[in-house]
Chains A and B, each alone.
Chain A
Amino acid sequence: GNSVTQMEGPVTLSEEAFLTINCTYTATGYPSLFWYVQYPGEGLQLLLKATKADDKGSNKGFEATYRKETTSFHLEKGSVQVSDSAVYFCALGGNTPLVFGKGTRLSVIA
């Protein structure tokens, strides 16, 4: 069945550091890939998505590229801010309920 594996946290970075959160997946067919984010005290919300191989999703300075050859969808940001502190979830799906990873907690310190 479909599954998602993402790097375990917590991840602690200084402001303006480079961020990578790894995500790999196992899937049948051609799923869409997503990153959701949960800020403190808020519900999960969609951060970015990619619907086919080699697509790059981007939002708020975050990027992730759908790599079919490595079955990966790593999340990156060149310069993190304190306001990026949150839990990030990688997910895959399409026409079926989304399958989520365990989440990675990011803390950015000034």
Chain B
Amino acid sequence: GAGVSQSPSNKVTEKGKDVELRCDPISGHTALYWYRQRLGQGLEFLIYFQGNSAPDKSGLPSDRFSAERTGESVSTLTIQRTQQEDSAVYLCASSLGTGGSNSPLHFGNGTRLTVT
């Protein structure tokens, strides 16, 4: 596909269950980002992968959150023991570089997670 693809588009889960969200970036994009958007809030940075460098995990809100990326391809964001406050839209973005002035972010449509 031409754009960033995220799956599932919607996920409803019970409190305490684990969920896995998937992101397929644009081919050739070395940088991949996960953001979270709670209702009425801005985009909250979660984690950033750049090539083979160690990921920037500084935005992960707790140790229940983790993410992996294999090479420069698919990434999965895992949330363990989900809580109601985890309900949000999880956005993935990719870019050729660091997302700066010469390499804008390309976003997927997001996964809407609802924890009941």
Contact = CB atoms under 8 A, between A and B. Distances in A.
Task: Say if A and B assemble together.
Answer: yes
Interface of A: 4, 32, 34, 36, 41-46, 49, 51, 89, 93-103
Given A43-B3, A95-B98, A99-B45, A34 B104 contact: yes
B110 A43 contact: yes
Interface in B90-111: 91, 93, 98-101, 104-110
A38 to B, nearest CB: 8
B53 interface: no
Contacts of A43: 3-4, 91, 106-110
Interface in B31-88: 33, 35, 40-43, 45, 48, 56, 59
Contacts of A34: 104
Given A43-B107, A45-B107, A93 B43 contact: no
Nearest to A6: B42
A8 B41 CA distance: 10
A46 B105 contact: yes
B37 to A, nearest CB: 8
Contacts, number: 57
A94 B105 CA distance: 12
Given A43-B110, A95-B98, 8 more contacts: A36-B107, A42-B109, A44-B107, A45-B106, A94-B100, A97-B33, A97-B59, A103-B43
Contacts of A102: 40-42
22 contacts: A4-B42, A32-B101, A43-B91, A43-B106, A43-B107, A43-B108, A43-B110, A44-B105, A46-B104, A46-B105, A49-B101, A49-B104, A89-B42, A93-B100, A94-B98, A94-B100, A95-B98, A95-B100, A97-B56, A98-B33, A101-B42, A102-B41
A103 B110 contact: no
Contacts of B43: 89, 100, 103
Nearest to B93: A44
